Structure 1
Amino acid sequence: MPSQRPSERWTSYEDWDYGTMKQRLESLMASLDKAALVDHVEAVLGSSVSMSEPFSAGQYWCCFECFALDGRLVIARVRLPRHPDSKASDHDEAYIMQCEAATMAFLRHSVTAIPFPTMYAYEAPGSARAAKAGAPYMLIEGFYGNLLQDVDHSLETQDRILGQWTLFQAQLATFTFPQIGSISHFSEDSGPVIGPVAAAASDGLPNFGPFSSAKEYLSAVAKARLDRAINNNKDTTHLTRLGLFTFHDIVRSTDIFNHDGPFPLNHMDMGIQNLLVNDTLTIIAVIDWEMAQSAPWAVFYYPMPFPLLMADERIAEILADATHGAHRNTVKQHKTRDMYRAKFAGAEKALAEGGRPLLGSIAAVLAQESSRIYGIAEKIGVFDGMEEMLTRELVRLGYGLEGEAADRKLEELEYGKRGVQDITM
C-alpha cells in the first residue's frame, strides 16, 4: 500500500485564482466550522482524527482529509457556494447532491465487483449538522494511492490498467433502466428510482428528463450545450458554436441516434482523473459519482489520453509516415484504442460466462458512428484550434460528406445557425 495520503498532493488555493473561484473558496472558509466536521468524523470512526491543512477544490466541492491514528482516512467533501452566474436554484443544488447520495446507496447495496468509496454520512442542505458546519457535506472513505492521471502511461501500464477499467464499466452497464436519468432515490424495498438528469441541474435545468429515447436525450443535451455557447458568446469561438450546432443537427436530422432502452448505468466520468491506483497498478477506487446516470450506449467512447478524433484514413497516413511529427503519439494511441476495445470484448465475454450478460456490446459501440460522433462532440470547445477539424469530422461521420460536398454542408449549417434561437425540439 502506498504511504502517500491524498492531502500530500493537495495544493489549497494554488491554481484557483481565476474567475470567482478563489472568492468562493474564501467565502466557504470564512463560514465553515471545521471543528464540526472533525466531531462528526470522530463520531463515525469512534476515534480521534486530525484534519489536513491543505485542501483540494473543484468546481462544486472542497475536500479536507481527516486522518485517524490507526491510519483510516475520511474525506470531508464540502459543497462550495454557487457560482454567482449559476442558473441553478437551491432546489437544483440539493437535487444534485441527493442523486449522488442515492447512487452511492445503490452501489453499496447492489454492486460488489467495483471498488468505490463508502459514504459514511450525507448532510443535506437544511440538516442540523450542515447548519452547524456552515455548508452541506459528505463524509466519504479516503484511500492511499495515486490518481491514474499521475501515473506513467506506457503501453505496459495501459495493458495492466485497461482490463480493470473496462471490466468496471461493463459491470456497471449490466444494470439497465427503461429511462435515461439519474438515480434520484434508493431504498432496499423499492430499489432505484430514475429521475431527471442531475448533471443538468447545475445549468438550471431541473426538469431535464427523464428521457425515453437516446434521440430525445441527446437532442436536449446538444441544445443545452448550444444555448450555453450562444449565451457565453464572448467566451466561445464562432467555430465552437458551429461545431455544437452541427452535433445538434446530426442528432435531430439523422437516424444515427435512434435507439430506445433499456439504458445502461454509466459513471459518465470514469476517466483517469477519477481512478485511484496503488503501487501495483491495481485500481483501488472509482471516485466522484455525482454525474452517474443511465445513458445511451453511444456515450461509451474512447477517452483521454487516447481519444478517436480523426478519420481512419488520416490516422493510417500518419501511422505509415515515421517522419510525421505526430507519428509516435498516434502509434501509441492507436495501439491503446485497439487494446481498450479488446479488453471490453473480453470483459463482456467473462460477464456472459458468469451469468451477467450485457444487453448490448460496448466493444461494438466503440466502432460505430454514434460513439465517434458523441466523443468528438465532447471535445468541441475543449481543444483550442481543433474546432474546424472536429466539425469536419462530424460532417463526415454524420452526413457521409467530404470535400466540396462537406463545404456546401457547412455553408448550409452556418446559414441555419444564424437562426438557432428559433430551433424547436
Structure 2
Amino acid sequence: MAAPRKKLPSERWTSFDDWDYGGMKERLEDFMKSINKTALIEHASTIFGSPVSLSDPFSAGQSWCCFELVAPDHLLIARVRLPKHPDSNAPDAADEYLVQCEIATMEFLQANIKTVLIQIPKIYAYEGPGAAKAIEVGASYMLIQGFYGNSLQDVNDSLYDLPISTQEHIFAQWTAFQAELAVFTFPQIGSISQFSADTGPVIGAIATAWLEHLPNSGPFQSGWEYFVAVAEGLVTCALQRKRSDTEGAYNRFAVLAPLIFRNIVRDTEIFKSIQGPFHLNHMDMGMQNILVDDDYNLVAIIDWEFAQSAPWEVNHYPMPIPLISSDRETAEFLHDTKHIAHRNTSRQVGARLLYRQQFGEAERALEKRGNPLYCSIADVLEGKASRIYGEELTYELVRLGYGLTGSEAEEHVRMVEEEMKRTMVGVESTNG
C-alpha cells in the first residue's frame, strides 16, 4: 500500500490574499515583476544536484517573501528580501545586520541544540546585497530547509477552540522548546551578531525592525538599561505615528500606554533590580512562526532575526492567549455565566493556565536532566514586571505599576495626557 502523499506547505499559502491594504498588494506585485525565479530554481538545483520545481503559491510577510522549491527527495524555501517597508526609516545597514544576526543565531542553535525534536532550519546559502546571485535574482535571499508543515496560525488561529488534550499537546512542545532555549545564558543583553565553533557566540547590538526608534541598541549590561531603551523606542514610535496621522484616527491610548510604560520603567523600582545572566529568547515565537503538521506536532521554529539574549521578564502570555482584559473584568466575566464574554474568557483563562503549567513541566524535565533554568519562566509569567511588559491596557498598566484604580487612575492618565500634549506642541514648535 502506497504511503499517503505529504501535503506541501504551499497548499495553504495565500499569495496576494489579505494584502489588499495601504499599497501592500501593489508592493508585492511590483516585487514579483522584478524577481528572476528561474535563477532561484537554478541555484536550488545546483545545491541538490537534481531538478527542482517552483510552486505557484507564495507566502509573504512584512520583510520576506517565501517561494517553495520542490526536489524529488527534498524541500527548499527561497526566502527573498522584500523592498524596505514603507513605514521604515531604518538604514540599509540595519536591515543587513538583522540578517547577519539571524544567520548567526541559527548556526549557534544548529551546533548546540541536540535534545528536542523541533528543528531550526538549515541554511544552504545566503546571497546578500551586491552578491552576484542576488543581483541576478533581483533581491538578496537565503535558501533554507523546508518542512512539511504550516504555521500554527494558518492551521488554526483559535487555539483555545481546540480540545484540551490538543492544547496540552501543543503547549507541551511550545514551552519545552522555549525552556530549551533559555538554558543558554549570557552576561549581556543583545543579539548573536557572530558565531563560530572555535570562538563561540558574540553578543552585539539588538537586531530589531524599529532600530531607528531606539536611543540605544546595546548590548546592555542590566535589565533596567534594556527596558529603558525599549520604552523610549516605543514612545518615539508612537509619537511619530500620531504626528503623521493627518486624519485624526489615531487612538489616544496608543500613545498613552507607551508613555505610562516608560514612566513605570523609569520612575518605579519594578524593573531596576533585573540583573543577569540573561537567557536566549526567540522574541517573536507566536503562532505565525511555529510550524506544525496536521496532527499538531511542532515541526520547526522559523524567523530568528529578532532572537536575542534578554531579561527573563520579556516572557509573557503569547497570542492568542494574551491578557486582554483587566483582572477585575476577567473575574466578572468568569463569575457571570450569562455574560456574552464568559465563554471566550473561560477558554482563554484555561489555555493560559495550561500554558503556564506546561512551562513548569518543561522546567522540571530540564532539572532532572541536570540543566536547571537560572530563573523559572512559569513564575515570571505571573510576576509584575512580565505583566507590565506584556500589557497594552492603559488603566491596567496604571494599576499594576502604581496601584491606582478608579478616580485616582483617571487623574493619573489625565496628567500623562497633558504631558503628552505639551511634548507634542514643543516638538511641533521646534520643527516649525
TM-score (norm 1): 0.92
Q: What corresponds to 1:250 in structure 2?
A: 264
CA apart distance, 1:108? 0.9
Q: Secondary structure at the match of 2:57?
A: coil
1:10 aligns with 2:13: yes
CA shift in 2, pair 1:201/1:44, >3 Å: farther
Q: Return 5+ residue gaps in structure 1 as ranges.
A: 378-389
- 8 Å contact from structure 1 (residues 89, 204) kept in 2: no
Query: In the alignment, is residue 187 of structure 1 matched against residue 196 of structure 2?
Result: yes
CA RMSD across the alignment: 1.9
Give the Cα–Cα distance (whole angstroms) in 1 for the partners of residues 87 and 395 of structure 2: 33
Is the aligned partner of 1:238 residue 2:241?
A: no
SS at match of 1:12: coil
Match of 1:29 among 9, 29, 32: 32
Q: Which residue of 2 aligns with 1:147?
A: 151
User: How do 1:380-419 residues align onto structure 2 when only pairs under 5 Å count?
Assistant: 390-419=393-422
In 1, the alpha carbon distance for the partners of 2:5 and 2:399 equals 47
2:299 to 267, 284, 299: 284
Name the residue aligned to 2:135: 131
Letter in 2 for 1:372: R
Paired AA for residue 129 in structure 2: P
Aligned residue pairs total 410
1:40, 1:206 → 2: CA distance? Answer: 40
CA deviation after TM superposition for structure 1 residue 148, in Å: 1.6
Deviations 1:35-79 (A, max 9, x none): 111111111112111001221111000110001123x21000000
Equivalent residue of 2:208, what SS? helix
> Aligned with 2:280: secondary structure?
strand
Q: Report the more deviating stretch, 97-106 or 401-410.
A: 401-410
Amino acid in the other structure paired with 1:41? A
- Residues of 2 paired with 1:106 and 1:66: CA distance? 25
Alignment partner, residue 102 of structure 2: 100
Q: Which residue of 1 aligns with 2:347?
A: 332
1:54-108 CA distance string (max 9 Å, x none): 21111000110001123x2100000011134421122111111111111111111
Return the alpha-carbon distance in structure 1 between the equivalents of residues 5 and 149 of structure 2: 6
Partner of 1:382: none
| Superposition TM-score, scaled by structure 2 size | 0.90
Matched position secondary structure for 1:138:
strand
Q: Which residue of 1 aligns with 2:430?
A: none
Residue pair 2:12, 2:150 contacting (<8 A) in 1 also: no
Which residues of structure 2 form unaligned runs of 5+?
428-432
Q: Report deviation, 1:206.
A: 9.4
| Aligned partners of 1:96 and 1:201 also within 8 Å | no
Residues in 2 aligned to 1:83 and 1:339: alpha-carbon distance in whole angstroms: 37
2:399–2:409 Cα contact (<8 Å) kept: yes
| Matches of 1:353 and 1:4, distance apart in 2 | 37
Gap change, CA 1:85 and 1:328, over 3 Å in 2: closer
Q: Distance in 1 between matches of 2:250 and 2:416?
A: 18
Alpha-carbon separation, structure 2, partners of 1:303 and 1:420? 33
CA distance in 2, matches of 1:60, 1:287: 14
User: Partner of 2:331 in structure 1?
Assistant: 316
Percent identity at matched positions? 54
Output the amino acid matched with 1:237: N
Distance 1:156 1:319 in 2: 22
Is the CA contact 2:215–2:232 (under 8 Å) kept in the aligned structure 1? no
SS in structure 1 opposite 2:332? helix
In the alignment, the residues of structure 2 paired with residue 200 and residue 146 of structure 1 have an alpha-carbon distance, to the nearest angstrom, of 24
